[in-house]
Chains A and B, each alone.
Chain A
């Protein structure tokens, strides 16, 4: 869709003269339910990176078109969210095909919410902030499944570095905000070290079958013995880097709007009607921070 020339013309009606959020040091993109966008995101095998950039672009365009240019001028924390999450619960939850909306009898019990966070910072407060943001924006008391993924650290990550993060997750489990948590791309011995140290054991380890064509026999044995689910994913090592993130903003906003941003966490969540295998909603959170040197 973004390759069609018409859309590019319409998204850049005139050059942007002033930055939209000159004082922002934190920015959150929250897409809301993206299943509605199915028709548009129909490229074969679009990766999560493509999706994230796609949704960021759409949200920036919508912001420019629909928002008063003064809205974010003074803001330190800019939140771009789809309007629907506030009032349209039908859109949020979607209607199930073939079911008249007044007969939709879904309760929270029927749903399974799974969250995967791609952390680009080991700072514990980033993880805490991210989990709280997800719970607040989704307006949920708990999440069934929480997976944590760390780019590039996967192979070099030490348990020392990882435990503070896992401890935060364990806190949320203690508070029954997260029911089960797992890790991504952990090999042995990191997985077994974690398993031995952790108070709440990881329930699953997600690996990328495309990268790791066959599962190492040792790992297979270990997970079976310790009742850890071996799940699969096809996500890249790093979802979005600084340059792509900034470039995306740059395309629609003023150059000052794009400066210095470092994406800290990207979250993908899905809500599935568990016992029917139907996905009700799917969305993303993209959270970034930057430092600004104020020039007068």
Chain B
């Protein structure tokens, strides 16, 4: 979760004082980066995934499952290879917000060889194994977006009681001890968000009304020690109340980052992936249970938006603007607000709140409107955490203050300029995907996204729809069983006018424009089901067909082909509804559990059984044919043959070119 700077953190009061300073220097740093690196060309594609694993502990006797607060013990061991040999690791590890989370990435980015798609799952499995090796009996590494009983009493091991008057979060449910303590960042973030907004974060999730759910559903918080009755105002009937940053940031996601060839390609890919954010959210839905209750949502996204929301009441709009600079419609954790490529301007149909000083400064420095708008929008935010050491930097060389703001805007996509002093280029991060319970599924989702970007670039496609429609889609995507029941705005025709003109085609194209139905003002998008979007229909090509088309023109080795086929098959079936999302499967599991009383309550025992089942499925000890149907995939970490072949080809070519000169 962002920069893990070392050093001396400032208090909130001091941090607040430096807000403008941080912004000014951050913008300066961006301008310098831009000027120096806007013409940078990176020759090859590089990409990688991030998985935020959870560690849990089972008490088989008492039929209870806990979040295991052990990350601080195992992370130093996991990170040891990197300390010894930073350039030669197969996996890399980082801490995350909670002491039950460990974040793993591949040691080296994947590249352009098709065979790399065959490595993703193997590397994810390796990460899981590396974590697992360091755990004791009954302790397991799990991958899922949300721990169903997070925030319930005694949901951790060791067990702690939240202390509302002294904790950083002041939460009724989430003790400070859950927060990873070996790096000050996370506690400070927690405290500062609360101090800035001058109240606890709060979110209410509609409860899933089952046959025996009490009507109205009103929670009794006294068991949580709510003596002051503080939360009767914040909680709403028929909703589940959440009040801790950690209940959001302690969720896990699956992220993919790409390095683009140039800043233009990065901006292009950033834009093209935006319409896919709600689609992937719906496809990966894995969080139907919150604080031990079945809810009406299947995804973590909006919870995270609310739990990381540092806006004051003035900024939110519930009070008139007096001390704050802007009215801000969204949390700093939210879906993106604008496209950033010059050609996308017409799709930015929503007002984007911007710091106009920043905007003008960027324009003066020859940065175009769309990019200036994006940065000016990010910079409406205050820094949430500041280290003394970051205050006196060289703006021509360092990027820490820019990153301070950029990395605390947690959006569905992130545009990442090259860091100072590195070989790394302009990058784009795809952030909405929920984490699935098996490595196979996670690899499938990642592979799908990467292949789609290759196809978009190959066929010059355009997926853009107005940003307001993307926001609507984000709302639709998170609803219970959205994949099967919702329709989403999606562009009808993905081919662009920029595809090269083939003259022997002009007769066809001309005829098309003479057709009576051809109407230039006709809406470019319409509502489609996930099935139509992914698998196509007689009116829409379908994203999978585009990918298949692309793959048929690439030399794939048999093993990679087999693996990719399996991944695409999963995507296809899930989109068609013949395989379930993790969320739907979890709901079914609860509904069919002998102990479930159809009152929306997921008890300790039900949660224990659910997570134990998931653990066995993850470790290939049991099958889950409703969600995943596969034979063992051919995924492997060993790609030396293919890499050698590629190197040989390059050598031959090089000598050929040299000889001809």
Contact = CB atoms under 8 A, between A and B. Distances in A.
A110 B657 CA distance: 12
Contact of B45 (A44, A98, A277): A277
Contacts of A62: 503-505, 507
Contacts of A141: 660
Interface in A97-135: 97-100, 103, 105, 109-110, 112, 114
Nearest to B45: A276
Contacts of A114: 555
Interface in B604-661: 641-642, 645, 649, 652-653, 656-657, 659-660
A79 B630 CA distance: 49
B66 to A, nearest CB: 44
B497 to A, nearest CB: 11
Contact of B458 (A32, A35, A84): A35
B504 A97 contact: no
A7 B508 contact: yes
Contact of B653 (A66, A179, A209): A179
B227 interface: no
A278 interface: yes
A203 interface: yes
Contact of B500 (A91, A109, A207, A278): A91
Interface string B544-586: 0100111011111111011001000000000000000000000
Contact of A176 (B456, B498, B555, B656): B656
A229 B653 contact: no
A51 B264 CA distance: 33
B506 to A, nearest CB: 8
A203 B508 CA distance: 41
Contacts of A276: 44-45, 112, 261, 454, 457
B503 A83 contact: yes
A178 to B, nearest CB: 11
Interface size, B (range):
35 or more
Given A42-B545, A144-B649, A270-B553, A96 B265 contact: yes
Contact of B504 (A58, A92, A96, A103): A58
A234 B536 CA distance: 21
A200 B517 CA distance: 58
Nearest to A11: B507
A44 B545 contact: yes
B529 to A, nearest CB: 17
A100 B41 CA distance: 13
B488 interface: no
A65 interface: yes
B558 A230 contact: yes
Contacts of B45: 275-277
A23 interface: no
Contacts of B114: 277
Contacts of B503: 62, 82-84
B502 A275 contact: no
B604 to A, nearest CB: 46
Contacts of A36: 499-502, 505
Given A10-B511, A33-B500, A44 B536 contact: yes
Nearest to B459: A38
Contacts of A95: 460, 498, 500
Interface in B503-559: 503-505, 507-508, 511, 515, 536, 541-542, 545, 548-550, 552-559
A145 interface: yes
Contact of A39 (B44, B454, B457, B493): B493
A163 to B, nearest CB: 24
Interface in A195-226: 203-204, 207, 209, 215, 224
Nearest to B265: A98
Contact of B645 (A37, A203, A280): A203
B461 interface: yes
A180 B649 contact: yes
A1 B507 CA distance: 14
A282 interface: yes
Contacts of A100: 264
A35 B499 contact: yes
A142 interface: yes
B103 to A, nearest CB: 27
B49 to A, nearest CB: 17
Interface in A162-216: 176, 179-180, 203-204, 207, 209, 215
B165 interface: no
Interface in B37-64: 41, 43-45
B510 to A, nearest CB: 10
Contacts of A59: 504
Interface in B437-463: 454, 456-461
B262 interface: yes
A98 B508 contact: no
B500 A227 contact: no
Nearest to A220: B558
Contact of B558 (A65, A209, A270, A280): A209
Nearest to A46: B549
A282 B499 CA distance: 13
Contacts of A110: 43
A45 interface: yes
A294 interface: no
B269 interface: yes
A19 B44 CA distance: 51
Contact of A179 (B112, B515, B561, B649): B649
Contacts of A105: 41
A231 interface: yes
Interface of A: 1, 6-7, 10, 32-40, 42, 44-45, 58-59, 61-62, 65-66, 82-84, 88, 90-92, 94-100, 103, 105, 109-110, 112, 114, 141-142, 144-145, 176, 179-180, 203-204, 207, 209, 215, 224, 227, 229-232, 234, 270, 272, 274-280, 282
14 contacts: A6-B511, A40-B508, A44-B548, A61-B507, A88-B501, A91-B502, A94-B460, A96-B265, A98-B341, A204-B555, A230-B558, A272-B553, A277-B114, A278-B454
